[in-house]
Structure 1
Amino acid sequence: MENVVLIIHLLLALALIGAVLLQRSDGGGLGAMGGGGGGAVSTRAAATGLGKLTWILAIAFICTSLTLTVIAAQKASGSSIMDRLTTGGSDAVEDTGTGALDTDGLLPPPASTNTDAPLVPRAD
């Protein structure tokens, strides 16, 4: 379900970008809102079909954003960030006692230390 909503969300984002870029510029932009004559609130409504389409796409984009937020919140509701942290285990490096470098070129930690210690870079 989440993947379907995410694909729809991405398609809406692309369509919204295209609809905004296709609209004719009135020349004012954000500069028309600051002072001089026109005022911030215009009485002209979105008369063109492209303007109405932009509003529809924007509303649908917001709805899919909210839906994805709800889905993500439901997925994470039963777990804590502390539950997802690993406590070593398979990520720890085992010391073979030979002093040989592993495949990453890093020295394993000494046998007397904790296996959760960070690896030491090789000195060349």
Structure 2
Amino acid sequence: MTTLLLVLNTLVALALIGVILIQRSEGGGLGIGSSQGVGSFMTGRGTANLLTRATAVLAALFMVLCLVLDIMNRGASGGKNEHDILAHPSQNAASQTTNKEPVSPPAK
């Protein structure tokens, strides 16, 4: 299930990048989505509205997928991650200092 969500999250991220790149910006940008040729499918304003809505939907979907993946991963680790500095900061600092063995210089 996690692999499927990761693949879906990657596809949503790529789609989000593509939609953002084809939007017309103030400085011109790529501006692919706003060509006003003869027989165009949508007007410039309609294209901008469609791309803005698509960006919002894809961004919301990306955030939801990231949260779901985080919740699933948090449950899989059992809440006892030794590298998690937010879990028990004082214990992590103490364990890092007490677990180190003194390094002796090499014998000549």
TM-score, length basis structure 2: 0.54
Residue in structure 1 matched with residue 22 of structure 2 by the alignment: 22
Alpha-carbon distance, 1:81 to partner:
3.0
CA distance in 2, matches of 1:19, 1:70: 28
Judging by fraction of residues, say which structure has more helix: 2
CA distance in 2, matches of 1:73, 1:12: 22
Residue in structure 2 matched with residue 101 of structure 1 by the alignment: none
Residue in structure 2 matched with residue 42 of structure 1 by the alignment: none
Which digits, 9 at most, give the CA deviation of each residue in 1:20-67, with x for residues without a partner?
A: 00000023xxxxxxxxxxxxxxxxxxx610110000000000000001
Aligned residues: 70
Structure having the higher Rg: 1
Unmatched runs of 5 consecutive residues or more in structure 2: 28-47, 84-108
TM-score, length basis structure 1: 0.48
Distance 1:73 1:26, change over 3 A: same
List structure 1 segments (4+ residues) > 6 angstroms apart after TM superposition: none
The 5 A counterparts of 1:67-86 are 67-77=68-78, 79-81=80-82
Give the share of equivalent positions with the same residue, in percent.
Answer: 37
